[in-house]
A and B are shown apart, each in its own frame.
Chain A
Amino acid sequence: MPGTTNSSAVAVLRDRIRRIEGVGQAAGHPVLPLGMTPVDRALPEGGLPLAGVHEVRGDGAATGFCAALLARLHAMDGRPVLWLERGNDLYMPGLTRCGLKPGAVLTVSGISRDADMLWAIEEALNCGALSAVVGEIRAADFTASRRLQLAAETGGVTCLLLGETERGGAATALSRWQVTSMPSLPDGAGVGWPCWRVELVRCRGGHLAAWTVVWGPKGWTAITEAGGMETLPTDIRVAG
Chain B
Amino acid sequence: MKKFHKKRIMNIWFPWLVSERLVRREPELAKQVLAAIEERRGRLVLAAVNRRALHGGLKPGMVLADARAVQPTLQTRFVNAAADRAALVRLANWATRYTPWAGLAEGDSLFLDISGCAHLFGGEAALAADLVARLKGFGLTPLSAIADTPGAAWAACRARQQEATILPPFDSLTDAMTALKEFPLPTLRLSGDTLDSLTSFGLRTLGALYPLERRALTERFAAEPVQRLDQALGVVDEPISPIAPVPPHEARVACLEPLVTREGLETGLRTLLDELCRSLAQSSEGARQLTLACYRVDGTTARVRVGTSRPSRWVEPLFRLFAEKLDEVDPGFGIEVMTVSAARVEALKPAQENWQVKGGGGAGLAELIDRLGNRFGFGRITRPTPRQSWLPERAVEDAAPFSSSDAAEWPAGRDRPLRLLPVPEPVEAMAPVPDDPPVLFRRHGKAYRVRAADGPERLEGEWWLKDEPPRDYYQVEDEEGRRYWLYRQGLYEAGVQPRWFLHGVFA
Contact = CB atoms under 8 A, between A and B. Distances in A.
Interface of A: 59-61, 63-65, 67, 79-80, 88-98, 102-111, 116, 119-120, 123-124, 127-130, 180-184, 186, 190-192, 194-196, 215
A94 B408 CA distance: 16
Contact of A91 (B360, B416, B451, B452): B416
B360 A116 contact: no
A78 to B, nearest CB: 10
B365 A129 contact: yes
A194 B483 contact: yes
A191 B381 contact: no
Contacts of B223: none
12 contacts: A63-B419, A91-B417, A96-B410, A102-B410, A103-B385, A108-B376, A109-B382, A123-B368, A124-B368, A184-B483, A190-B475, A191-B477
Contact of B416 (A59, A97, A116): A97
Given A107-B381, A127-B365, A191-B452, A92 B507 contact: no
A90 B482 CA distance: 17
Contacts of A88: 422
B418 A63 contact: yes
**What is the predominant secondary structure among interface residues of chain A facing chain B?**
mixed
B380 A110 contact: yes
Given A124-B368, A191-B475, A116 B451 contact: no
Q: In the A-B complex, list the 4 residue pairs whose CB atoms are closest, starting with the nearest.
A: A64-B507, A103-B405, A93-B416, A94-B418
Contacts, number: 160
Contact of B386 (A102, A109, A116, A184): A102
**What is the predominant secondary structure among interface residues of chain B facing chain A?**
mixed
B14 interface: no
Interface of B: 360-365, 367-369, 371-372, 375-376, 380-386, 392, 395-396, 401, 405-412, 414-422, 451-455, 475-477, 479-483, 504-507
B416 A120 contact: no
A182 B481 contact: yes
Contacts of A128: 364
Given A93-B410, A191-B475, A183 B405 contact: no
Given A60-B483, A93-B414, A127-B367, 17 more contacts: A60-B419, A63-B418, A63-B419, A64-B418, A91-B504, A97-B418, A102-B385, A102-B410, A104-B405, A106-B369, A108-B381, A123-B371, A127-B365, A129-B362, A183-B479, A184-B477, A184-B481
Nearest to A197: B481
A5 B154 CA distance: 96
A190 B453 contact: yes
Contact of B382 (A61, A107, A129): A107
Contacts of A93: 386, 392, 395-396, 410-411, 414, 416
B377 to A, nearest CB: 8
A192 B481 CA distance: 10
Contacts of A120: 372, 375-376
Contacts of A61: 482, 507
A99 to B, nearest CB: 11
A89 B422 contact: yes
A106 B369 CA distance: 10
A80 to B, nearest CB: 7
Contact of B406 (A91, A103, A119): A103
B376 A91 contact: no
B425 to A, nearest CB: 11
A44 B481 CA distance: 30
B477 A89 contact: no
Contact of A190 (B369, B416, B454, B480): B454
Contact of A60 (B383, B384, B416, B506): B506
Contacts of B364: 127-129
A103 B383 contact: yes
Nearest to A124: B368
